[in-house]
A and B are shown apart, each in its own frame.
Chain A
């Protein structure tokens, strides 16, 4: 056990309130004393564990509030739909239904991370025995997988398998690393939602909000990883890229780190080829699609700023 003054010194260091003299003294002592070093690592570990629990408790509280909001909104929506259904002709009801469905689909994922405006989207029913696309290999903070088997959202941890048509959701204090079966990875940042999909042509991903760093291994002959979405789409053979998406669906940004990616703007079919260092941002009524971040670093910053939160 440390003496009181050393314990105080370590505590002050971890709290970031030590003076430069105290820091120098701590470093000098730590280089000489294995016991002090062990104590420092032990206390930092205790802080890290405490933080995990405190964050979990806060997130659970927030998640429970979210749940209440979801239920309230669902009830409200059902009431609205019932009134509309009774009052309008069948054709009008159909139109309203489609609109509601679209609105709910766009809003649902923000609910999971505690934003206003919420509703559960229809979750596709999977084919039986759908193999996992991959697993979460690292999780920090609250991460959920929205299951497509009707069980709704469930908390995810290291080892959780994720299938096509399932969504990985990270809370505002969380991040996750997802590994596809072929070793490709998605590093999913905080406040993000990524929908995985699959067709005969290969896997797909749709970032609904937040940011993802993808490192995609070379796909087999004839296969592509498809980046989906209503604003931009791309087909990836094998490359590293970053995707960012506005939670309201108003813009999407793709930056290439290695390799080449052809991005297509869905609205008008315009295509651009992005090389390493290029970023493309797509937003309705916005003519620009391509900028080289090495020539104009501001472009990268614009994408980061548009994300509304700080991603590295």
Chain B
């Protein structure tokens, strides 16, 4: 395989697993900085070790396995600031996330369309949480609600976005049939 072919093969395999990778990293760290750093580390390692990848195996499972190793390596660092899952659970989560049959096939355009339909107050909340990376305590202070109430709003928005995304995907599938 020449370099161009290697690049192309890597991209083809890597692109569909990016979201699952980031999802796993965030599920285990709950820290966007750590997630971003680990994501870069894992991407580098996947590219470096791509020559060792056995094409008869699932790339997704291989990638999630690498992600798990990196999370475990740096676990001590983020364990100081918050509660962190046991190694056993991290491994099980990586196996689950690496299982292609469990993939929801969620797509960003669907989510983008749903986010546009969110009320402006909810979009603002999303901005505070995901763009400015504010903690729930900071958000609750800004919106002058309790932390519990802010948390309930987040849960409601997550549920709504998910339902909306799944509905729009189902509609798209039905239209394609």
Of B53-61, B79-87, B169-177, the one with at least 4 CB within 8 A of chain A: B79-87
| In contact, A48 and B35 (Cβ under 8 angstroms) | yes
Once the chains bind, are A52 and B104 in contact (CB under 8 Å)? Answer: no
Chain A nearest CB from B176 CB (Å) reads 22
* Cβ of B61 to closest chain A Cβ, rounded Å: 14
Say whether B47 faces chain A, with CB atoms less than 8 Å apart: yes
CB-defined contacts of B3 to chain A, threshold 8 Å? 181-183
Known: A46-B106, A48-B26. A179 touches B7 (CB 8 A): yes
Find chain B residues with CB under 8 A from A100 CB: none
Tell me if A138 counts as interface (CB < 8 A to partner B): yes
A:161-200 near B, CB below 8 Å: 175, 177, 179, 181-183, 185, 187
Enumerate A42-57 residues with CB–CB distance to B below 8 Å: 42-55, 57
Residues B43 and A53 in contact, CB atoms below 8 Å apart: no
Size class of the contact patch on chain B: 35 or more
**Most chain B beta-carbon contacts within 10 A, residue among A11, A23, A55:** A11
**Nearest CB of chain B from residue A288's CB, rounded to whole Å:** 30
Residues of B within 8 A of A208 (CB): none
Is B52 among interface residues, defined by CB-CB distance under 8 A? no
Query: In the complex, are the beta carbons of B96 and A17 less than 8 A apart?
Result: no
**B 119-160 to A, binary, CB cutoff 8 A, 1 in contact else 0:** 000000011011100011100000000010001101100110
Q: Which of A26-34, A88-96, A230-238 contacts B (4 or more CB under 8 A)?
A: A26-34
Task: Check if A312 is an interface residue, CB within 8 A of chain B.
Answer: yes
The distance from the CB of B59 to the nearest CB of chain A, in whole angstroms, is: 14
Inter-chain contacts of B135 with A (CB < 8 A) = 16
B15 at the interface (CB under 8 A from A): yes
Is B93 interfacial (CB-CB < 8 Å)?
A: yes
Q: List A contacts of B19 (CB < 8 A).
A: 45, 48-49
Q: B43's closest neighbor in chain A, by CB? A: A138
- Tell me, yes or no, whether A79 is within 8 Å of chain B by CB: no
The DSSP consensus for interface residues of chain B is helix
The docked-state distance in angstroms from the alpha carbon of A44 to that of B90 is 14
* Cβ B158 vs Cβ A20 within 8 A: no
Q: CA separation between A181 and B154, bound complex, in Å?
A: 44
Contacting pair A11 B154 (CB below 8 A): yes
Q: Which of A12, A13, A182 has the most CB of B within 10 A?
A: A12
**Given A37-B92, A50-B115, A17-B136 contact (CB < 8 Å):** yes
B155 to chain A, nearest CB (A): 4
Whether B75 is near chain A, meaning CB under 8 Å from some CB there, is no
A31: chain B residues within 8 A (beta carbon):
88-89, 92
Question: Nearest chain B CB to A99's CB is how many angstroms away?
Answer: 39
- Given pairs A49-B111, A53-B112, 14 additional interface contacts (CB within 8 A): A16-B82, A16-B136, A17-B151, A41-B93, A41-B96, A44-B23, A46-B162, A47-B26, A47-B130, A47-B158, A138-B44, A158-B14, A159-B7, A177-B40
Q: List 13 A-B contacts (CB under 8 A).
A: A11-B151, A16-B82, A27-B85, A30-B85, A42-B162, A44-B24, A46-B161, A50-B126, A53-B108, A137-B7, A140-B40, A158-B14, A183-B3
10 smallest beta-carbon distances between A and B, as pairs: A45-B23, A138-B43, A44-B27, A11-B155, A51-B130, A54-B130, A48-B22, A23-B83, A44-B23, A44-B26
